Amino acid sequence: MSRLLIYAIVFIEGFCSLGAEIIALRRLVPHVGSSIVVTAPTIAFFLLALALGYAAGARVSGNYTVVVARNFLISALLAGVGLAGITVDWLFAHLQPALIAYFIFIGGILCPLAWLLGQTVPILTNLMRHARTGEASGMALYWSTLGSFLGSLSLSLLVMQWLGVSAAVFACTALLVAGTLLLAGRNLKYAIFCASTAAIAAGFNLHHEVTADTAYAEYIVGPAPLPGQENPRAFWVNKSTASLIDESEPTNYTRYITHLRHILLDELEFRDRDILVLGAGGFTLSHREPMNRYTYVDIDPAIRAIAEKHFLREPARGEFIADDARRFVATSERRFDAVVVDVYSSHSSIPSHLVTREFWEGTRRVLKPDGALLANLILDGRLETPYARNLLATIDSVFGRCAVDVLHKAKTLANVEVTCFASSRPGKTGIYVDEKNQADLDLSRSR
């Protein structure tokens, strides 16, 4: 083989191996979220399989191009079918609990793919006969790593953003098929297998029934089963209902949005105020609400156009800023009368960097002195879990005592609305007991 062809093959290997890892992490978000306890094991298992692939490739002693061509073809099939949205959705729908589906996905699809592609560099360096061992391995690793670099950037920032995750899966499959054909030459058997693999991958990926698919989320807009409403439709983000709307007059929304609007417009009587909304959802908080000025911050730059075209079917009210919520509140010089926190990557999954004390201090920072914080949390209805207690305690440590409204007390998971004020501060508390009961004294001091 020419050195140029070897470099092309290892470039494809690097591009597709890291591309498969990125796609796998993105496919897992709707089902298990994107927290560090999901991403870290996924990356670890991928690297372990890659290391085992290096070791397996080092033991190959002949038929180098045949072995790599076979590996590429199997990897193309694994990527095209195993990383397809329909496959991942089926696994998590039929294999419960979700941990079982996760390990089947990692152990049956991602790790075998990494193991097969990991064999490429040690095998092909055997064909670089006129190069020193260090030169051969170094240049092969250079082109493989360059492929990984360009694959991670192009798939996440270009292909997923503009064409969707399914297109990224098909792109990896097509590159692996192309690599197989380069290795196999004019072998008719491989040509037939490659054409069949590409056709199967196209069938699994080009008809994934979603409204829109970006690097950050999968969006679906469809009818919602809500009796008594006029043509209700839902906006699903990563398999979770983010917003509801219908065509009634006045319009019906999800219960928590109605509750937030009631707090802002009726209880706080906000008029001509500046309201920051972290997490855009379906932009229903400001829908047909002309009395205040709304600024939405969401990490996905495509969400507004998707919501306007498919869900609202009209322009969304308010300014939109594509940014990470924590970065925005940490750096913005603007101040708001209210901050509404509604940040979910999937059902009940808040990104972990948006629950810390430092984040809530950032929300306080962008509030005006008389401003209010409203947070929509999804917790257990009785607030008994460690997560619920610790999250509420974290917010209280920044704002002092906050009002807590549980909207669905009988449900396992409920919308919990937290209202805090910038004017309050956390302070020392005590417990009233019969021996030293200072209740009357405190009551008089509080008036």
CATH assignment of 3-209, given 1.10.1740, 1.20.1250, 1.10.10, 2.60.40? 1.20.1250
SS3 assignment, position 59? coil
Q: In the predicted model, what is the mean pLDDT of residues 327-355?
A: 86
pLDDT at 442: 74
Examine the pLDDT at 347 and tell me if it is beyond 70: no
Q: Report percent pLDDT > 90 for the chain.
A: 68
Q: In the predicted model, what is the mean pLDDT of residues 121-141?
A: 84
Which range has the worst mean pLDDT, 209-223, 260-274, 324-338?
209-223
Side-chain half-sphere exposure of 243, counting CA atoms within 13 A: 26
How far is 358 from 377, CA to CA, in rounded Å? 17
Contact 49/114 with Cβ under 8 angstroms? Answer: yes
> How many Å is the maximal CA-CA distance in the chain?
94
CATH 1.20.1250-classified regions of the chain: 3-209
pLDDT tens-digit series, residues 276-298: 999 998 999 999 999 999 999 99
Q: In the predicted model, what is the mean pLDDT of residues 253-258?
A: 92
How far is 238 from 216, CA to CA, in rounded Å? 9
Place of tokens 């207690």: 389
To 10 degrees, the CA torsion angle through 49, 52, 53, 56? -160
Segments of 175-237 assigned E as strands: 212-213, 218-223, 233-237
Q: In the predicted model, what is the mean pLDDT of residues 84-100?
A: 91
Contact 3/140 with Cβ under 8 angstroms? Answer: no
Q: Which is higher by pLDDT, 295 or 411?
A: 295
SS3 assignment, position 183? helix
CATH 3.40.50.150-classified regions of the chain: 218-421
Examine the pLDDT at 408 and tell me if it is beyond 90: no
Examine the pLDDT at 51 and tell me if it is beyond 60: yes
Residue 334 pLDDT grade (very low, low, confident, very high; cuts 50, 70, 90): very high
218-421, CATH topology level: Rossmann fold (3.40.50)
Average pLDDT over the chain reads 91
Contact 320/296 with Cβ under 8 angstroms? Answer: yes
Record the tokens describing residue 376, joined without a space: 């929509």
pLDDT tens-digit series, residues 155-187: 988 998 888 899 999 999 999 999 999 998 888
Examine the pLDDT at 130 and tell me if it is beyond 70: no
In one-letter notation, the amino acid at residue 156 is S
- For residue 408, which of 387, 386, 385, 377 has the smallest C-alpha distance? 377
Which residues does residue 298 pair with via DSSP β-bridges, in sequence order?
322
Examine the pLDDT at 431 and tell me if it is beyond 90: no
> Phi and psi dihedrals of 239, rounded to 5?
70, 5
